[in-house]
Amino acid sequence: MTKGKPLTAPPKASRTLAGIKDWHVVSAIVLLTVIFFRNIIFKSAFFWEDFMYFYYPARNFAAVSMAGGELPLWNPFTLNGMPFQADIQTALFYIPNMLLTLFVSGGKLSFYWLELEIVGHYVIAGVGMYYLAKSYGLERIYAFFAALVFMFSGYAITRAIHQPMICETAWLPLIILLFRKMMKEKSAVAMILCAVVLGHAILAGFPQLTLYIYFLLFLTFAVECIARLRSGGVKTAFPVAALAGGVVVISLALAAIQLLPTIELAPYTQRAEMTYEKSLDGSLSWPGLITLIVPKFFGAYGAQGSDYWMQGSYGQYWETVVYIGIPALVCVVFASLLMRKNADVMFLFCVVVFSLLYALGDSFFLHKLFFTHVPAFNKFREPGRLSFLWTFAAAILAGFGLRQCVEESRIAKKSLQKILFGVALAGVALYLAVQQGWLQEVRGADSAQIHQIASSATTTAMIFILGVCAILFLRSRNALSGTAAIALLFGVQFIDMHVFGFDQNNGTTNPDDYFDRTASIVTMVKEQGRDEYFRVNSRAGNAMLLDRNQGMIDRIFTMEGYSSLVLQRVYPPAKDRDHVNNLMNAKYYVDVDAQRRTMSLGRSTTYVPRAYMVYHTDVIRDDAEQKAFMSGDVFNPRSTVVLDDQPEVPLTAPDTTTPPPVKISSYGLNTIELDVTTPKKGYLSLSEIYYPAWKAYVDNVEHPVYRANWNLRAVFVDAGTHHVSLRYESGSFHRGIWITLGAFLLCIIGLVVLGRKKQPKEPAKGVA
């Protein structure tokens, strides 16, 4: 062998590991997932934070509702009532979520099934990345390494508690695999399959990642289209453009059942307007790039507690995580040697660089440029989430880099050793700088603790850096075989990510115990709820008797809640908390004793019924004037209903008539039936949140639903006895159903037709 020159013999490691089969890798991916999430799978730990506070209550509510034969378009149990299906993060029509309906037992969905669904998506992510990496020309073992890096990356690990994010992330490799196949082979079948997978991924419920996926597809298409224009002109580029357009149109059509109601909901939510300043929440920073090497330099925020000391918004830790493991990062460095020779590697490096620079938010110009000039990018905050694409591209590059530095034929010994020396030297220099306190932010009394956190994390990182360099150095000296070096690097990578994130999601609170702690209160409220409809105000400041979304689990009407798409008008203006509670039909409220630091459930005697008649209207169109009037001493919701638009029948004369009670004959998620007897014309005032999808029918004749008392509903009712029906009838939802069903049917027909065309014709049989 000539010193310093690449070998020309077949790569030894590839020959030795050629016996690995696809099923071996898939089985290994499943096994490693079980090992990593063993505490979750064997019920000794539990997912925490948003999993317990939002996603489990939402999935339980959806699954139980559908198991009972009711499609939950509206959720009356949270935040006084709000759209459910239209909130895209409820992911009602995402198939794995729909399958949870099969596991409802005793009127409840066990949280364990949802945990298993989440863990299963790590397998989907790993298997998808494995086959995608193979499509880039990587041998099975290196494709396996790419899968390992992707599925157990810092980004993926910290997103287990954010179900829609990990679910949508899991499908990205398969989407890109089919998209690339479509472009290379000009395959209509691949186009349809890609659109189906993408459309289904959209239904997982995280539109920000959807935008980033479309952006990556656009970049992939643009590079391919430019290459075809240069080589063959418009004739070769046009078919690819048509197929790419087909993916976009079909995928959006398949997801229309979710997208159209969400678009209808968006203007009514508190996130309808996104300022540039707000969009910067969750930005990476230049100092934060140190977490590429030392992931817990600033501490961590996980199920076991927090020692995170970097400034930023809540969730800064997991919004900006960019760690993929020291072995993977070193391999990415070696992959850079291929940029001039391999167009795919060059493209992936461009994605890596762009993603990191965009994630810097206001520390670099890219985020502001896209926020200002590129449609849809101004709708989201947390620029750090684009590390989603950095993780994806870096995982594939890690596969290339592993092959590059392990295979004897790929790189000269001298070059390899120089790079390893540089990496090791950089690791030692970083370690010494941190030990001297040069890189830590000094914060008075906290400086010693900060130094300890940063120093400990850097020591761990240096151990992994030196370990990886030692393995590759021994390989360069032929002291290790290629197979042994690969096995060791696989082991170090898994151990590295295990050290980083094994405890990240291992919460100690059993969700069943958490929600059962107030069982006596829930039992009492539900028992009284048999005779009348009323709400519970279970929160006063930071004092909470019930969890924010517990209403969805126990099916009690609560004024509190937690959702990313909260309506703008949740609570009406009033002069004090008691008046808000009364107007919102709150029979019970949390009563806090500040001196004794205790809280109990108080009972109101002045709350209005869920539905009642009023015979006087006051039209106030200006929001400020309406707030002032309702917050004053004059307003009495039992005698006056405040409207913000001129009604069909104004009732301006003062009236003190005491109306007979309104009977609610049935109350469902999407329909409320009432029997009304009134001696004269008036307005049925309902302590129900106004939303335009709600329609009213008086004796089967549609009547307008007015926004009343700031955020509630009112319907005109003439004198006499009437049956009033309120129904949630969203035109956008019904249009979305037909568009989705039509697109799905066309996909099936297209696949059948194209499949028949590809079948070889049987030769004609001769006559006997």
Determine the pLDDT at residue 394: 98
Per-residue pLDDT band for 125 (boundaries 50, 70, 90) equals very high
Rounded CA-CA distance 55/109 in Å is 12
Strands 663-667 and 671-678 turn out to be: antiparallel
CB 139 within 8 A of CB 17: yes
Rounded CA-CA distance 616/642 in Å is 9
Please list the helix, strand and coil fractions of the chain in percent, rounded to the nearest 5, in that order.
Answer: 55, 10, 35
Query: Each residue of 405-458: pLDDT tens digit?
Result: 888 556 777 788 888 999 999 999 999 999 888 877 655 557 888 999 999 999
Determine the pLDDT at residue 768: 38
* Percentage of the chain modeled with pLDDT above 90: 82
Domain assignment present for residue 184? The answer is yes
- Domain end (from 237, 271, 305): 271
Same domain membership, residue 721 and residue 616: yes
Query: Each residue of 295-307: pLDDT tens digit?
Result: 999 999 999 899 9
Domain assignment present for residue 334? The answer is no
Q: What average pLDDT does the segment 104-127 reach?
A: 97
What is the domain count for the chain? 3
Any idea which residue has 């998620």 for tokens? 669
| 336 pLDDT higher than 80 | yes
Determine the pLDDT at residue 7: 37
Same domain membership, residue 639 and residue 577: no
Domain assignment present for residue 209? The answer is yes
Spell out the SS3 assignment of 295-307. Answer: CCCCCCEECCEEC
Domain assignment present for residue 584? The answer is yes
Domain assignment present for residue 300? The answer is no
Query: At 60, phi and psi to the nearest 5?
Result: -60, -45
Domain assignment present for residue 763? The answer is no
- Domain end (from 271, 306, 339): 271
Rounded CA-CA distance 378/105 in Å is 43
Same domain membership, residue 630 and residue 562: no
Which residue type, as a one-letter code, is found at position 243? L
How far separated are the first and last CA of the chain, in Å rounded? 67
User: 565 is in which domain, residue-wise?
Assistant: 511-603
Determine the pLDDT at residue 765: 54
Listed residue (701, 518, 702, 686) closest to 601, CA to CA: 518
Query: Each residue of 568-598: pLDDT tens digit?
Result: 999 999 999 999 999 999 999 998 877 777 8
Domain assignment present for residue 206? The answer is yes
Q: What average pLDDT does the segment 723-744 reach?
A: 97
Any idea which residue has 């992959």 for tokens? 335
Determine the pLDDT at residue 5: 40
Determine the pLDDT at residue 762: 61
Domain assignment present for residue 207? The answer is yes
Beta-carbon contacts of residue 258 (< 8 Å; ≥ 6 apart)? 85, 88, 91, 92, 93, 202, 203, 205, 736
Which three-class secondary structure state does DSSP give residue 323?
A: coil
DSSP code at position 269: B
Same domain membership, residue 515 and residue 627: no
Query: At 74, phi and psi to the nearest 5?
Result: -125, 145
Query: Each residue of 630-689: pLDDT tens digit?
Result: 999 999 999 999 999 999 899 988 777 788 999 999 999 999 999 999 999 999 999 999
Of 174-183, 257-266, 559-568, which gets the smallest average pLDDT?
559-568
Indicate the burial class of 767 (C-beta count within 10 angstroms; 0-12, 13-18, 19 or more).
exposed
Q: What is the mean pLDDT of the chain?
A: 92
- Domain end (from 566, 587, 603): 603
Same domain membership, residue 703 and residue 633: yes
Strands 305-306 and 301-302 turn out to be: antiparallel
DSSP of 488-533, one letter per residue? HHHHHHHHHHHHHHTTTT-B---HHHHHHTTHHHHHHHHHHTTT--
